[in-house]
Amino acid sequence: MGNMHTAQQTSFKMYWSLASDLWAITTNSTVLGGSCLLRDSSNFAYSNATPTVALKQNATLAAPLSPGWIEFEREIGPFGAIDVQYLAPPRSLLTLHHDFMASLTALVLTNPEAQADYLALNVPPRRAPVPAALLARSDVEFVGGNVFCGDDSSPWPPANGLYMAFSFTNLCHATFAEVLQTVHYSPLFAFLSAGESRDLDAICALDAFQPSTCVRDHIHALSFLTTHNTSFAAIPTLAVAATADVRALKVGYVQFLRTATATTIARVPILDQDDAAWCFYGWHVLLGWAIGLREVVTLVGDHGRITAISAVSPNLNMVPDPNAIPQSFSFLVKYCVQYITLVLILVSGLLALSAMYHKGHMEARNLLCVNRIVGMTWLGRPFVLVRSLSAIWLLNTSPLTLVQVGVGTRFTSPPLAWYTTLLATSEMTWFVYVLNDLFSCITQQYTSLYASKSSNLTWLAAFVWTLRAPQTYVATVYRECSRIDMDAGVDCTSGSVAVGSATRLVTSLGLVVACSGLVYAAVCLCSHAPPPCYVRSPLLNAQSYYMLRLQGWRVGDVHYLDKTSAIMAGLLCVSWQGRTLVFDIKSWRILETPIAAHADDRLVHAIPLIH
């Protein structure tokens, strides 16, 4: 998110860009007006002028230069030709912070006593440290700390603290002290990283605020680290590598100093190997760099370079937009599943009423195929496919719960009980029904032999697989940013929580296909070829044709279907004045058949399947 304030900018004086050249040569009132940018031209813009002159003319740079800016030009180079390079934190520092936070979080979330001790630590919200070498000098005054503003501030003694470093909230000619805004774990991180730098009196003496409880607070922090030293055993080793990398980058504060005779630039190393007490505060500063509260830039000029760290920038708090999460598809699937469930309940209730009305004159074994036949007849493949896919999606989604542990929170993923897993994996059989119905034109009379076996095998395989290797969530906290426009902002991803797995989803679908194919192949190889089905009737769809048991309901060449099973097949029957009216919900047609007298009383409660 961009946040530019060009009217209060502080960095334009460093580099004279091509855009500035184009503006200057086309503006007659500038020193470069009407000039040419070709070096070989007799009217070359910089034959008798420099970018510094142009910056002074347009008031970007005040003339004459202050003593601090004169010293800056001598050490770094002329204004208008200084590159400002953004410096990212070294990987070793990020690793140190990551491992420290992981160790501390694991400790306080698993050890209630450690959490209580941690919360009992007294950590002042602000500190204002000054290096011992500067604090000991009585002949100097600080006249600025913003590397983009120079010595533009009122002089004050080192005992007041350092001047505030550069920041997008710190403008020139402002008088603010550099303050360390600590977090609760700051002293723990600093003590672990600083190693042997534990002279508490020396550490407290460098703080301009000098709270009365300083030494006691540090003793409590060290006691906490001593008590739980095993949790942080790896941190000191990581700190050694981070120390070497930070010192190699020569990161530090920049302060403009004034004595009675001169104005100089003091480069204050963040980790000064000659000032162990200052290193304690240096690690506070580096912590801010690691978590994104501070930035580091390197100014590279014709004469030298300087690497400066910024002041703390306040976090930009943004509330996630719920509308950014797509929900329309999930709601569509939800309503489809609810519709399917409602239809199954209504049809099942209708079957129960029909069975009681016809006094049990029905083929009871057909009820074993209620889901399969009713799903394909009353709902159709698309709805059943949506139900099957939604079941597979949920089965391969890890349940994630945010629970409170004391004052902390953590994600937990409770394992499913075996009976819950058994019930959940049964939903995968809906996809088997779709495959059985879709390929019944190929399997034909083998459909009745392998269909139920394939769904049972799929259920068993999915149950064992899910029980032995359940889906687990994967959470990462790692910020990755891509530059969109450095003047407008960057696009960052700070972490991710993956509760599902596309790989497991594909594997689940493959498992269903494999089980169906294996069972069909086994049935074809191991079973005698069943006789073809010759029930010639347009009233039955594929699943009803192959899965309903009609063998015991045949008289001569005519097969009969009991009226209760007919409901499963989408045939609603009503007897009226010696005739049976049949409403076929698949084709929305009403058929009429006479009620014939039969020796078998069951056939009174059935309809003939005639062409």
Rg of the Cα atoms in the chain: 40
509: DSSP letter? H
Question: In the structure encoding, which two tokens stand for residue 471, read together?
Answer: 């889906």
CB count within 10 Å of CB 4 equals 10
Q: Where are the domains of the chain?
A: 18-63, 86-309, 327-594
Torsion sign across C-alpha atoms 217, 223, 228, 232: positive
The mean of the pLDDT values for the chain is 89
Return the biggest CA–CA distance within the chain. Answer: 129
10: DSSP letter? S
pLDDT-derived band at 144, boundaries 50, 70, 90: very high
Q: How far is CA 306 from CA 50, 79, 143, 236, 303, in A?
A: 22, 14, 18, 29, 10
- Alpha-helical segments (H) within 527-595: 542-547, 563-568
Give the pLDDT score at 349: 95
Question: In the structure encoding, which two tokens stand for residue 139, read together?
Answer: 């002949």
Tell me if 273 sits within 8 A of 298, measured CB to CB. no
Angle between helices 214-227 and 112-119 (to 10 degrees): 170
Say whether the peptide bond before residue 64 is cis (omega within 30 degrees of 0). yes
What confidence tens digit (pLDDT) does each residue in 456-497 have?
999 999 999 998 988 888 888 777 888 777 666 777 888 888
The mean pLDDT of 251-277, rounded to a whole number, is 94
Question: Rounded CA gap, 606 and 563, in Å?
Answer: 5
- Long-range contacts of residues 344-348, Cβ cutoff 8 Å, at least 24 apart: 344/370, 344/371, 344/374, 344/375, 347/374, 347/378, 347/567, 347/568, 348/374
Short-list 246, 138, 135, CA closest to 194: 246
User: What is the DSSP secondary-structure string of 440-502?
Assistant: HHHHGGGHHHHHHHHHHHHHHHHHHHHHHS----EEEEEEEEEEEETTTEEEEEEEEEE-B-H
Place of tokens 């230069």: 65
CB count within 10 Å of CB 573 equals 21
Tell me if 273 sits within 8 A of 132, measured CB to CB. no
Place of tokens 């370079």: 305
Amino acid at site 139: D
For the chain, percent of residues with pLDDT exceeding 90: 53
410 phi and psi, to 5 degrees?
Answer: -155, 160
For the chain, percent of residues with pLDDT exceeding 70: 97
CB count within 10 Å of CB 156 equals 14
Tell me if 114 sits within 8 A of 108, measured CB to CB. yes
Question: Rounded CA gap, 276 and 262, in Å?
Answer: 29
What confidence tens digit (pLDDT) does each residue in 350-387 have?
999 999 998 888 888 989 889 999 999 999 899 999 99
What confidence tens digit (pLDDT) does each residue in 82-128 have?
999 999 999 999 999 999 999 999 999 999 999 999 999 999 999 99
Q: Is residue 546 packed enough to be buried (19+ CB in 10 Å), middle (13-18) or exposed (0-12)? A: buried
Q: Which residues contact 148 (CB under 8 A, 6 or more apart)?
A: 10, 11, 13, 14, 166, 172
Q: Is the predicted pLDDT of residue 597 greater than 70, yes or no?
A: no
Phi-psi region of 167 (alpha: psi -120 to 50; beta: other; left: phi over 0): beta
The mean pLDDT of 556-572, rounded to a whole number, is 87
Q: Which residues contact 346 (CB under 8 A, 6 or more apart)?
A: none
CB count within 10 Å of CB 339 equals 14
How much of the chain is in helix, strand and coil states, percent to nearest 5?
45, 20, 35
Question: Rounded CA gap, 234 and 211, in Å?
Answer: 32
Strands 401-405 and 305-309, how do they pair? unpaired
Give the pLDDT score at 319: 78
Q: Is the predicted pLDDT of residue 528 greater than 90, yes or no?
A: no
Instruction: State pTM to two decimals.
Output: 0.76
Give the pLDDT score at 480: 81
Give the pLDDT score at 487: 63
